[in-house]
Structure 1
């Protein structure tokens, strides 16, 4: 009497990760190296902040900053490089110091792409106050949405990553980040 063939599903599921790791060992190593390097960079950021800044925790509890730093370190594998950079911007903004900021400038990470308009926040909302010649027709227009979120929500998120001594400084700086698709 012949036996029914065994379902190879479990064996295949176990063999697939092994085959991938044997065929592409550099992929896992590259991801681990990337994550390690980002964590080293985050550690250096925190160390240098403490060494150079005269009063880094004048406006935020050191434990709160460290908790946010460790949370970002833990999320590194799940974030794009641009996402980690935005996380560093958020850490710098937590300090509430207009002279301590992280600006995304890496063209390799896509931060060189900027929508050629200047936005400003007003009491009645966000507006285009200047634009490159090709976008001049938008000057004076009110911004209603940015991507899938309202302009108000986008501005709130941008304020979270904008360094400033006070709300007016953050409100002045935040609209610039709304013109950077990689930050959004």
Structure 2
């Protein structure tokens, strides 16, 4: 195998988050462009716990550091190159994703084939991250039912990319209910 050149790719989404803009698509587009041995460094205003689970599904491990109250730095690398993060327990944070979920959400996931989330009133990117985390912990054949303030355009793009069928039901009050089927 040829010597792998490691490149550090940094993305600061704090300006997006402070303007209440959804950075998920920007993050995923950046991840798509990574080479296998690259280190992706993300700067955010909060610990992006659901994103850790999404990228774990894509084969990444991470290292999370809190620099300031509203400055979190998360370094991601392909699990084959976890030694580049200089931590032995690099997958520890992504394993905490399920424990970060409320006990009500965990109970729904265990007892039912449908996970229902009311994402109204949450600021981006929380509705999308929360929905993708629920989809991640569901089993094939399960459904994730969400209620959002509006039609989740970026989530729909990601669901299409993942190949998950969904139904959007726009409500008279401008909100949207979406039912996603895990495949």
More helix by proportion, 1 or 2? 1
Do Structure 1 and Structure 2 share a fold, with TM-score over 0.5? Answer: no
Structure whose alpha-carbon radius of gyration is higher: 1
Structure holding more strand per residue: 2
- The alignment's TM-score, normalised by the length of structure 1, stands at 0.23
